[in-house]
Amino acid sequence: MLATVTAMPSYQARRKIICIHFAVQCMSRLTWSTGICDNRLKILGLTMLRHLLTCWMIFCLTAPLTGMAREFPLPLPGVDLVGELSSITSRYEDTLSDIARANDLGFLEISEANPGVDPWLPGEGIEIILPTQFLLPPGPREGIVINLAELRLYYYPKGENRVITYPLGIGREGWETPVTQTRVTSKKPDPTWTPPESIRIEHREQGDILPAVIPPGPDNPLGAYAIYLALPGYLLHGTNKPFGVGMRVSHGCIRLYPEDIEKLFPRVPVHTPVRIINEPYKFGWAAGRLYMEAHQPLSEQQLESGVDITRLQSLVNNALGSRRPNIDWDELVETALSHSGIPVPVTP
């Protein structure tokens, strides 16, 4: 069953609201100054209308700009499913990019959950699936876990018995973010960026001359916060190009929406362990059933056949342990091929 999310005003709609608010302000002042509305009731009505529009404008400019972080109580041992699948009805001015950011999702994950929907012109009245249910990644539930294939980060705050998850942008092909285990070494608000020589050369070849050091500010690709890792040259950071979150666009670093890194930054202490994995196929249990969540493998791991059956069999065997339920292999392979990012039961 899908939970329906109330649609919030898009960026274009918010601009319209501001214009209406400005027009009402001007009309109110004009009628007052010219004496056209000498009736006290009419003046009171205009004043109330102005205040109502002001409150609505403030609400629209603050609440919908970003979605709430996906934060869940940790399930009991042996249960791996968190969250609830939900949906939203699109308006004519929406794009999947706008809807994704408003609901703290990445661009590719919302696109893959809605095959056949034009990401830039979904259209009026289209039901958009929000992939807001997740199987927790395999391995220990501690520190930060980053699943590259999923383009998503999971953070388990120490002692809080909960998990927080955020969408990510990672390194593009040729600048891959590595699979490794590391830790947080330091944190810095308003970081400066010293671009490596390899990146400066790449930009120079494209006619873009990068300075040796880029100070804090709107031109800094690190955004307002940086979390440095023991892995030299790699860090978690914000961005001045939030449209790249949920895609492979970086030079290997891991970028978050500005509003997400602002929330994560104060919560993550130095020495927090960081585990970077690459698992396009996740398996886990809920209500006695085995679920599968499939994402498109990174391009350098994709096979011509589309599915690595040997890998799938190994993952299924690990998930089953000593249990021997009937596996719906047709459903399992179809889930892998569709890679919608939505957990699907593959046992009765």
Residue corresponding to tokens 């205040």? 51
User: Which among 283, 292, 278 has a CA at the least distance from the CA of 335?
Assistant: 292
The question of whether 271 is a catalytic residue gets the answer no
Could you tell me how far CA 139 lies from the centroid of its own chain?
22
**How far is 36 from 39, CA to CA, in rounded Å?**
9
Residue corresponding to tokens 């706008």? 98
**How far is 86 from 156, CA to CA, in rounded Å?**
23
DSSP symbol at 57 = H
Describe the chain by its helix, strand, coil percentages, rounded to 5: 30, 25, 45
Selected catalytic residue, list 21, 60, 253, 339: 253
- Which strands sit side by side in the sheet containing 127-130, from one edge to the other? 3-4, 86-89, 127-130
Selected catalytic residue, list 21, 237, 251, 295: 237
DSSP symbol at 240 = S
**Cα–Cα separations (whole angstroms), residue 149 to 174, 192, 319:** 15, 29, 19
Classified as helix, coil or strand, 306 is: coil
Q: Give start and end residues of each alpha helix (H) in 80-174.
A: 96-102, 107-112
**How far is 128 from 111, CA to CA, in rounded Å?**
9
**Which tokens go with 35?**
């004496």
The question of whether 19 is a catalytic residue gets the answer no
**How far is 248 from 175, CA to CA, in rounded Å?**
9
**How far is 85 from 338, CA to CA, in rounded Å?**
17
**How far is 93 from 286, CA to CA, in rounded Å?**
38
Residue corresponding to tokens 């809807």? 99
**Which tokens go with 301?**
């791991």
Phi and psi, residue 166, nearest 5°: -135, 150
Indicate which residues carry an active-site annotation.
Answer: 237, 253
